[in-house]
Amino acid sequence: MGRYVENLGVRIWTQSFGSRADKAILLISGAMAPAIFWNSNFCERLADLGHFVLRFDSRDIGDSTHFPPARDADADPPYTIDEMVDDVRSILADYDLNTVVLIGHSLGSTVAQLFAVKYPERVEKLFLMSSPIIATGNNTYAETDSETLAAMWQVLMSNKMYPDYKRGKDEFFKVWRYLNGSFELDTDLADEYTKRLYETEVIEPAYNHTKIQVGIDDTWTELSELEIPIHFIYGEKDQLASNVGNIQILANSLPNAHLTVLKGAGHMYFHRRIWQQILSVLTEALA
């Protein structure tokens, strides 16, 4: 059963696993990603380790409030990333949670970072998976080579986004295979996820979720001052958000940060062995 949280008229759909008496973990999905990015088996296994686990549909996704898409290049999105950060605050308030472990993926990692630097006293540990880099400081990062970028965007943009699932499934599966790194696509996981996308507007949230990431202030100083552990988790083959080399540079520059590389993994995790890698990392880090 899900539960709605209200934040200034915006309804955020949430779901919990485990006992309220246990330490809380909040899972934050990426752009265009519904709550089930964090599949139920993963959530249940985290709960079995003694955690109260929450996942949620971000605004514009799934069963949460949707907004008009800012399709035109010069159109402003109808909300800001700071409002998505405030959605996290509202979830914690609604569940009466003073502190939490934050685990974000992609855009969800950005939201998690921004929440942690705004409310450092409320975050026990920070896990940033497939995270875009919003913290630079004095670091120098390498750009992904142009051929790799061109090949990646050719695959991403080739998805015709058919409005019906039967026609659109194969198009999405091509993208998922590319983003799955060296792992064979688990079609059951991919099918469940893609069907959930088709229960909403499919592509419409992409406009807003992309635009809210433009112009974020450098957070390196604030991240470096956090006294909590910062765990970067990044797929060896992931070139979408950044790349392993750049994340290693960032982790090395922060006093409490550590990077774990998911062998063979890409930006998406459509294979149970990838999730097992993630669970192993979390089990050790949360102990």
How confident is residue 191, by pLDDT bands cut at 50, 70 and 90?
very high
Answer yes or no: is pLDDT of 189 > 90. yes
Answer yes or no: is pLDDT of 148 > 80. yes
What is the structure's pLDDT at 259?
Answer: 99
Give the pLDDT confidence of 243-260 residue by residue, as tens digits.
999 999 999 999 999 999
Sequence-ordered strand ranges (E) for 70-211: 100-105, 123-129
What is the structure's pLDDT at 260?
Answer: 98
How confident is residue 180, by pLDDT bands cut at 50, 70 and 90?
very high
Mean pLDDT for 155-159 is 91
Give the pLDDT confidence of 67-81 residue by residue, as tens digits.
999 999 999 999 999
Answer yes or no: is pLDDT of 28 > 80. yes
In whole angstroms, give the CA distance from residue 108 to residue 185. Answer: 23
Nearest to 232 by CA among 100, 134, 118: 134
What is the structure's pLDDT at 163?
Answer: 86
Answer yes or no: is pLDDT of 268 > 80. yes
The structure tokens listed for 178 are 């590319």
The answer to whether the beta carbons of residues 187 and 173 sit under 8 Å apart is yes
Answer yes or no: is pLDDT of 139 > 80. yes
Q: Edge-to-edge strands of the sheet including 51-56? A: 2-7, 10-17, 51-56, 23-28, 100-105, 123-129, 230-235, 257-262
Q: What is the CATH number of domain 2-143+203-286?
A: 3.40.50.1820
Mean pLDDT for 78-100 is 98
* pTM listed for this prediction: 0.97
In whole angstroms, give the CA distance from residue 203 to residue 213. Answer: 17
In whole angstroms, give the CA distance from residue 114 to residue 210. Answer: 16
In whole angstroms, give the CA distance from residue 17 to residue 30. Answer: 20
Answer yes or no: is pLDDT of 130 > 80. yes
Q: Where are the domains of the chain?
A: 2-143+203-286
Mean pLDDT for 58-71 is 96
Give the pLDDT confidence of 98-123 residue by residue, as tens digits.
999 999 999 999 999 999 999 999 99
DSSP-derived pairing of the beta strands 23-28 and 100-105:
parallel
The structure tokens listed for 50 are 């003694």
The answer to whether the beta carbons of residues 238 and 244 sit under 8 Å apart is yes
In whole angstroms, give the CA distance from residue 68 to residue 197. Answer: 17
What is the structure's pLDDT at 188?
Answer: 96
